[in-house]
Amino acid sequence: MDFSRTQEKRSVKMSVTDRRPPVAGFERRLKGISVVFQHKGSALLPGGGAAPSRSRSSDSSEEPVQCRRPPPPAAMAPSLALAYRRRWWMAVTSIFENLFFSAVLLGWGSLLIMLKSEGFYSHLCTENLTGATNETFMDYNGWPSCVEQEEVLNLGFTVGSFLLSAATMPLGLLMDRFGPRPVRLVGSSCFAASCAVMAVAAYNPRVFSILIFLAVCLNGFGGICLTFTSLILPNMFGNIRSTILSLMIGSYASSAVTFPGVKLIYDLGVSFRVIMWVWAGLACMVVLNCLLNWPAESFPAPEDIRYTKKLRLDRVVSEDRLTGDRYVTHLTVMKDTVGARQQDCERRDPQSRASASVPLRRSVCSPIFLWSVVTMAITQLRVIFFMGAMNKMLEFLVLHGDPHPSEELQREAEEQVGFYSSVFGTMQLLCLLTCPLIGYIMDWRMKECEEDGDAGSRSDPPGRDKKIQKLTNAIRAFIFTNLLLVVFGVVSLIDNLPVQLLGFVLHTMVRGFIHSCCGGLYHAVYPSNHFGSLTGTQSMISAAFALLQQPLFMLMVGHLDGDPHWINVGLLVVSLAGFLLPCYLFQHRRNLLREQAAGTLLPSSQSESEMALLIQTDAGAAAGQVNSLLEMEETSDGFRA
């Protein structure tokens, strides 16, 4: 007999147009298997029965079932399983994208020099010079420069740096609702738009100087979108999550090196407008990379990732052209998938259900979070003020407070400020080298906690608890970071220009460490579903507190005549309050140790092992159900239809 084998793959809602209706036994077979599988090989109705077949002699009034349309191209994002296989590519590209497109506004010192050289807000100096009210007058590339110009431009930096931190709270809510993919697309588009706006404003800076505020706002918002979406990528790396997280934060902190690098290209004679247009084009490559590799759903935490196998049943139909008999063969295809198991754990584990029921208000009002906000706000103000006022501080060290310097001394001050601002920007790459150190501190002995939980039995005494170990590591990290902040404050009081190089190194380390410390603390103390909201709230409050750097800057260049000494003394005293958080954490850790000794604290490793056992049991039961259904169908009617 002549057989022609054809493979049919029909969706659930596809109409049937065969010449001969299938036998009832074949309908029963598909009906039984449809309980377990999502079919591509059966024509089933939503109720589970087989769709009625249609022949040429059928009633023309019968309406066919409409076919299911494929999703639009915009929704064709990579699956989570595919993203997991590409996680190293995504991690490496995210580091470079953070380095060149995230918080580049933190390299404000070099950008300020380029904006002065392009003549942004130089008309303020012309008006003041005509009125003979301007005391300090310097020349940048033929454009006048003065204190009033620096105050307005520093206001733009204040607004941009505020958005760079304050936008994290709404971004956290948007990511929880839509995932990281659209947020990253919007962020990279905003960054490209900011570069285009700067390029347009440079064509006529006297008229378009106001556009610099729009440019820095788009730059700050776009940069924090790229940074915030990359912070959930370390969830795909298991035990080295904190190390990968520190690399992401390090690349974010090191992005301050970008504008000093751009200034070097600018000093070689390349037009500022050309640089900005090329930079905008490179930002479009970030959009392309996101479209090709980033999934629509968020990356689950390592303890929430569930690896499963999906079975797909295809129908292969063999037809005898002479007799018209049809033979059906089923093919089962297995597919690995990656997904979140948080909902399953909440249904099965009472402890997870209780953790998920903790209200966010309780976490926000807890003493640990409030002290972390105080510490972060003080550190943020110290860091942002130094970056905004660094050029004026360096100028004061060269001029020694002389209100009427000679032309030669002014030229020397300009050269020294340009040199040290370039060195400061280059040193931002140290964040990429030093941030893994704080990640190593946060991951200290975490692998031993998991091994203790897996190897021990119920009769053995509880080993090292993961939650207590995370808390211990956070205490050490905060103490180390606060010590560096205090030493940085002491170095800032020294009236010596070469010594400030040590201050640059300390500033770079503190700026990279503080974010990793807060992130590790929130992971250790609070439920995982509160992490984004807590991080966003803390960043918004600290950014609002950092707005004080603008009145401090105006006080320094106005009433204090450029002398930052007393402001640095005040900030040094305030920074000592950062040690109150590790003191409270130490007391909280003692309470947890007492609870563990009394037997009222369940080790986190034990709960995770029990959760894994439940998932394995359910997976085995599901596999047994599938096999039993297949055996029943094979022995009932056979494969002939």
The pLDDT of 378-383, averaged and rounded, is 92
Question: Could you tell me if 110 and 422 are in contact, meaning their C-beta atoms sit under 8 angstroms apart?
Answer: yes
Task: Say if 338 falls within a structural domain.
Answer: no
Q: Is 126 left (phi over 0), alpha (psi -120 to 50) or beta?
A: alpha
Please give the Cα distance from 517 to 441 (Å, whole number). 10
Q: Strand 138-140 vs strand 326-340: parallel, antiparallel, or unpaired?
A: unpaired
Number of domains in the chain: 1
The closest alpha carbon to 333, from 349, 358, 346, 315, belongs to 315
User: Band of the pLDDT at 61, cuts 50, 70, 90?
Assistant: very low
What 8-state DSSP symbol labels residue 5? E
**Residue 464 has what pLDDT?**
65
Task: Say if 358 falls within a structural domain.
Answer: yes
DSSP-H helix ranges across 268-359: 272-293, 342-348, 350-356
Task: Say if 3 falls within a structural domain.
Answer: no
- Give the dihedral sign, CA 303/305/306/309: negative
209-263: per-residue pLDDT in tens? 899 999 999 998 999 899 888 888 887 887 777 778 778 888 887 888 898 889 8
Provide, rounded to the nearest whole percent, the portion of the chain with pLDDT above 70: 66
574-593: per-residue pLDDT in tens? 999 999 999 999 988 888 88
User: Band of the pLDDT at 346, cuts 50, 70, 90?
Assistant: very low
* Residue 501 lies in domain: 80-299+354-598
Please give the Cα distance from 192 to 294 (Å, whole number). 19
3-state SS of 184-239 is: HHHHHHHHHHHHHHHHHHCCCHHHHCCHHHHHHHHHHHHHHHHHHHHCCHHHHHHH
Write the CATH number for 264: 1.20.1250.20
- Structure tokens, 241: 């999550």
The closest alpha carbon to 501, from 557, 434, 402, 422, belongs to 422
Please give the Cα distance from 629 to 634 (Å, whole number). 9
Adjacency order of strands within the sheet including 305-320 = 3-8, 305-320, 326-340
The pLDDT of 484-508, averaged and rounded, is 92
User: Band of the pLDDT at 621, cuts 50, 70, 90?
Assistant: very low
- Structure tokens, 208: 């378009």
The pLDDT of 430-436, averaged and rounded, is 78
Task: Say if 408 falls within a structural domain.
Answer: yes
Please say if the pLDDT value at position 491 is more than 90: yes
Which residue type is seen at 63? E
Task: Say if 520 falls within a structural domain.
Answer: yes
| Number of alpha helices (DSSP H) and beta strands (DSSP E) in the chain | 27, 5
123-180: per-residue pLDDT in tens? 888 655 544 444 445 566 677 878 888 888 888 888 888 887 788 778 877 877 788 8
Task: Say if 569 falls within a structural domain.
Answer: yes
